[in-house]
Chain A
Amino acid sequence: MTRILLTGAAALALTATAAAAKTQVTWWHAMGGELGSKLEQIVAGYNASQDTYEVVPVYKGDYTETMTAAIAAFRAGEQPDIVQVFEVGTGTMMAAKGAIYPVYQLMQEAGASFDPKAYLPAVVGYYTDTDGNMLSMPFNSSTPILYYNKDIFAAAGLDPETAPATWADVEAMSKTILASGAARCGFTTGWISWVQLENLSAWHNQPIGTDENGFGSVEAKLTVDGPVQVRHWDNLARWQKEGVFKYGGPGGGSDAAPAFYAGECAMYMNSSASRAGVMANSQFPVGFGMMPYYDDVEGAPQNSIIGGATLWVLRGHSEEEYKGVADFFSYLSSPEVQADWHQFSGYLPITQAAYDLGKAQGYYDQNPGADMGIREITLNPPTPNSKGLRFGNYVQIRTVIDEEFQSLLAGKKSSQQALDAVVERGNALIEDFADAVN
């Protein structure tokens, strides 16, 4: 709290001294390391491009910390203009109607040129209300894809140019690899919740929850205990015992990437934005593929859903500042800035123009696999089951998913029991949330 107050005070002091010259727009973000430097570079580019506004980026820690800090700051009346919030915080932000300034409305009222149709529907669909209005500005969105080690595939006698297409392929190939001794594990994955449950559901056109996965109502219920999900978790538990699958840990699965980089696991499923890390850390040729699917499930593969974060605008600032925000958002959405950010980070481009620019530049020919994510999210027009998901308290529900998955792997629960527990505990959290906001 003191830290927040101090930062707030510091930000105020800064505003006071520079206000005479330029209108300051503060942006709290959660991008550390390389991504953080790139973000600052983008902001510097914007600040140099005009002299009416100045965007001040402030790194506030990880996604959870940034969101918590912004909410605490709002309660204290010290909120930033823009805050970067991860996708699972969407339900919470949307419900805070008096605190957020919807982006479509902001763009309109600030008189900025804004064409919602220019944005990729699979990306912005996650962040629109039921009338199709864009509530927050997508900044960094990604989707899970499959990476594989071509050397291990070749050593096991598999075709290194063919990625597994179905889960049956994944299992068969993993067993061939294990039998040949080319690697100690078939595959590993980041984000059990996001990749092996939410995206699994969307990819197979199975509902994650009622009311269009929660888009329609804050009182929606989870439905992830369906036959496809139960079957998949059952397989994962069995594969873990057989050595086909290696668990990478809860949350993002911090042990998954090292196991792939070290050649311990032949395949790795994670965000398309992990591409830069994979390319930098692997000493072997990397192959790319779409997420596997069960070919006997009707409608699979459908389309994958995104993760990542968007920029929310908070209320309580001057009209001048909001004009600056709108101007900055227009800059961020421009094809050049978008293509540059997308190509640097592996995050998806948010506009069709940025994707087309990348194609025209020949970027995807030179960087195979860089468009795998875009191909997945645009594979089919999104259905109510594959548009995304939106539930209150979803940050905690993600933890519940991890906990129940651990119980499954530890052999304490069957996959049906584990997923039933996810639904039951998750629904209690959703009810709690609905109760608090109503």
Chain B
Amino acid sequence: MQSRRATYRSPWLPYLLLAPQLLITFVFFLWPAGQAVRQSFLREDPFGLSTRFVGLDNYTRLFHDPGYLNSFKVTLVFSVSVAALSIGLALLLAVSADRVIRGHRGYTTLLVWPYAVAPAVAGVLWWFMFNPTIGILPYLLGGLGYAWDDRLKPGDAMILVVLASAWKQISYNFLFFLAGLQAIPQSLREAAAIDGAGPVKRFVTIVFPLLSPTTFFLLVVNITYTMFETFAVIDATTGGGPAQATNILVYKVYQDGFIGLNLGSSAAQSVVLMGIVMVLTFIQFRFIERRVQY
């Protein structure tokens, strides 16, 4: 970090070196994003035989569609639940693993495993366990007097997708928390212990405040994860149902665009999502990136 500026003899060399990355960004991001923006102002039949410019019509329709507004609500509930659950559990596990002296590595490795599971596979696993006909958990819950049915009860379906998505994300959060915990100087905790602070008090007044940049960072990353990377989990478990109870924004883009072949609306939804990503990225870079110690 001492010298930020490197000098090149040829003025073209830096651009040449950047070119592959720029090309990839252009082909895989800017171009499709531009297409989406363009498409969002058009109304078109699926085959693209008749195309008409409709201005902001796709957007106004969208924000008058109760299904879309519902999808916002569902996404909010889903994101907050997944983020809270996975961050909370990961913190608990990280604090526990941090205190373990023997077999520390073993626990850590085991806890990281679920992250290697593909989202679709995670979805299928949980779907299978919670399947009202063949799953083990509805059978056990039935014994407790609860008739689990994620195909009919919106609440059950939400719990299912939240559990499946959070389970996968715990590993990731765990790693960051563990690293964060190990970065806290032992001397601070020892000093507090000498002053008579118990483990809970030490955690609340010293450890957690020092972890707050990590927590904030994870919050943003987790919300991004729940909004954009949980498509496969939803697709493999509830398919957005029952009655759109788990139809999150990104899944609706797929449903309207790929199944419904309503490209204009789907593109408008993508543009809205793109706006949300931009805001989240901005928050991350502006406020968090500088404070977090990796």
Contact = CB atoms under 8 A, between A and B. Distances in A.
Interface in B256-287: 256, 258-262, 264
B46 interface: yes
B134 interface: yes
Instruction: Decide if the interface of chain B is mainly helix, strand, loop or mixed.
Output: loop
Contacts of A97: 49
B154 interface: yes
A415 B102 CA distance: 62
Contacts of B242: 250, 403, 406, 410
Nearest to A421: B243
Q: Tell which of B45, B132, B242, B262 has the most Cβ of chain A within 10 Å.
A: B45
A71 interface: yes
Interface stretch (A22-30, A160-168, A353-361, A429-437): A429-437
Instruction: Decide if the interface of chain A is mainly helix, strand, loop or mixed.
Output: helix
B132 A255 contact: yes
B149 to A, nearest CB: 8
Q: How large is the interface on B (under 10, 10 to 19, 20 to 34, 35 or more residues)?
A: 20 to 34
Contacts of A250: 151, 239, 241-242
Interface string B244-266: 10000000000110111110100
B170 to A, nearest CB: 29
B100 to A, nearest CB: 43
A406 B151 contact: yes
B152 interface: yes
B262 A393 contact: yes
A403 B244 contact: yes
B133 interface: yes
B44 interface: yes
A74 B47 contact: yes
A64 B262 contact: no
B186 interface: no
B258 A64 contact: yes
Given A64-B258, A250-B239, A409 B49 contact: no
B29 to A, nearest CB: 14
Interface in B28-48: 43-48
Contacts of A409: 152
A404 interface: yes
Given A402-B241, A406-B152, A406-B241, A75 B260 contact: no
A39 interface: no
B105 interface: no
Nearest to A253: B151
A358 B258 CA distance: 40
Contacts of A395: 259-261
Contact of A403 (B43, B45, B243): B243
B133 A92 contact: no
B153 interface: yes
A96 B262 contact: no
Contacts of A406: 151-152, 241-243
Contacts of B153: 410
Nearest to A2: B28
Contacts of A393: 260-262
B266 to A, nearest CB: 12
Contact of A249 (B49, B134, B151, B243): B151
Given A250-B241, A396-B259, A406-B152, A71 B46 contact: yes
Interface string A369-410: 000000000000000000000000101100100111011011
B137 to A, nearest CB: 15
A74 B45 CA distance: 12
Contacts of B81: none
B7 interface: no
Contacts of B264: 436
A203 interface: no
B21 interface: no
Nearest to B43: A436
B86 interface: no
Contacts of A436: 43-45, 50, 262, 264
A98 B47 CA distance: 9
A86 B48 CA distance: 20
A96 B50 CA distance: 9
Contacts of A407: 243
Nearest to B242: A406
B165 interface: no
A191 to B, nearest CB: 14
Given A255-B131, A255-B132, A403-B241, A96 B259 contact: no
Interface string B164-205: 000000000000000000000000000000000000000000
A251 B242 CA distance: 11
Contacts of A429: 260
Nearest to A407: B243
Nearest to B244: A403
Contacts of A71: 46-47, 261
A395 B241 CA distance: 15
A68 interface: yes
A255 B152 CA distance: 13
A92 B261 contact: yes
A368 interface: no
Interface in A254-284: 255, 258-259, 264
Contacts of A75: 47-48
A95 interface: yes
B261 A68 contact: yes
A112 interface: no
Contacts of B45: 95-96, 436-437
A313 B152 CA distance: 40
6 contacts: A74-B48, A96-B47, A99-B47, A396-B256, A410-B154, A437-B50
- Which 8 pairs, one residue from A and one from B, show the smallest C-beta to C-beta distance? A406-B242, A403-B243, A96-B47, A396-B260, A99-B47, A255-B133, A437-B45, A406-B243
Given A250-B242, A436-B264, 15 more contacts: A64-B258, A71-B261, A92-B261, A96-B45, A96-B49, A99-B47, A249-B151, A250-B241, A406-B151, A406-B243, A410-B153, A410-B243, A435-B43, A436-B262, A438-B50
